[in-house]
Amino acid sequence: MLYRRTTIALLLAAVFLVIVGCSSGTTTTTAGETTTTGGAPETTTSSVPDLSGQTMEVAAVWSGAEQANFQKVIDAFQEQTGVQITFTSTGDQIATILGTRIQGGSPPDVAILPQPGLMYSLADQGVLQPLADVVGMEMDTNYAPVWKDLGTHNDTLYGLVFKAANKSTFWYNASVFSDAGVTPPTTWEELLAAADTIQRFGVAPFSVAGADGWTLTDWFENVYLRTAGGEKYDQLTTLEIPWTDPSVTTALDELAKIWGSDAMLSGGATGALQTDFPTSVVNAFASPPKAAMVYEGDFVAGVIGAETQATLGTEADFFDFPSINGSPASVVGGGDMAVLMKDSEAGKAFMKFLATPEAATIWAALGGFSSPNKNVDPSVYPDDITRRAATALANAEVVRFDMSDLEPPAFGGTPGKGEWKLLQDFLGNSSDVSGIQTQLQEAAAAAASGN
């Protein structure tokens, strides 16, 4: 399989415009027109069409709180247009489900993909509709160029990033930290020392969602970016260097300091491998807590708010993924990308809606969401937590997009296969670093060649 070499570095200036925004104004919607006043440039969406009697389907990985929040975006579009939308939650099997639907001749009108690599693959198969004539103008008005570049493959625009994420945040139970006498660390060494103190205090330091392989790739990517740097991160993404490279050894050795110790993990390695992402968050903020902290992206805030009793900003807070050996402030970013799979009037209209500040503002106000739309007023975010996560992304000296999302889905984005499965194996047994590197290289090479 050929896939586009992507070395997306979300540079400081671009990301500042995108995530934090330059607006302090307000957004109003009248008769299908959205106008932002104040510091941001004025934006106007296309007139809302009357789609009464039409139906369409949107498929995405979201479930639980994320699905409920996205449903409010869908509800607003349905109310304005009269179209009836069916939402299909695919879970992590989105690549497999879409492949089956495509073969059966019944793809959804719109799919929202968690991996740009999956978009590149679908574009190569010729099953995506070009978007330049659909949302090109809206993207030029509302998005910084880096996001349009990310949605472009072979010089054709196919994807619209609707939801962005800072995937370099550690969420912690403030009471456990206080009672154990530790403070949020800024370095990897301080993190390990704090974890040792916490486990001796009687609480497992980390809740790890090992049942969901994508969380483990995020762990690896953050450690690798800090130990190897941005250039090697880009090279490993595109297999210019192999997974047997010494830089990978270094990162896996660091991960093993946490993953390889049952005392560090809630439930030990066996329990971690049975823990899904939502449960990993609940574990850290349960009463009594089963862990002191959980690593994942800024969307953890949405799970805390929806599924725990912890108050964001007081009982639940976050610190940036720590520096390793003096590495500069670094962030792994992620995003969910909408693609058009049917040449339908309703699907095109929905894509246009997703490109507006109005659509993004609906979810942004609910929390657990960062918009790449630069004309979303930052004041709509419901709490300081979300704004801080966005600011961390903006201020990072080194930013890279989620590596596994840029890789061929067979390696970087499929449950039970490739990187997801092999890092689960490594979580279960972190003693054989060289062995897991060899397996990662073989799986990555096979996926890159289409085998």
* Over residues 266-276, mean pLDDT: 98
pLDDT in tens, 333-345: 888 999 999 999 9
309 pLDDT band, cuts 50/70/90, is very high
What does the DSSP assignment read for 55-92?
Answer: EEEEEES--HHHHHHHHHHHHHHHHHH--EEEEEE-GG
Whole-Å CA distances, 368 to 11, 203, 387, 448: 23, 27, 11, 33
Q: What was the pLDDT predicted at 333?
A: 86
User: Would you call the peptide bond into 41 cis, given omega within 30 degrees of 0 as the criterion?
Assistant: no
**Residues 90, 92, 94, 99, Cα dihedral to 10°:** -120
Handedness of CA 294, 297, 299, 301 (dihedral sign): positive
Q: What are phi and psi of 94, to 5 degrees?
A: -60, -40
Pairing of strands 55-60, 110-113: parallel
Q: How many helices (H) and strands (E) does the chain have?
A: 21, 13
pLDDT in tens, 364-382: 998 878 888 888 888 888 8
pLDDT in tens, 223-258: 999 999 999 999 999 999 999 999 999 999 999 999
From 225, 229, 242, select the one nearest 403 (Cα to Cα): 225
Tell me: pLDDT of 85 over 70: yes
Cα end-to-end span (Å), the chain: 8
For residues 18 and 21, what is the distance between their CA atoms, to the nearest angstrom? 5
Q: What was the pLDDT predicted at 377?
A: 85
Two tokens at 152?
A: 């472009």
38 pLDDT band, cuts 50/70/90, is very low
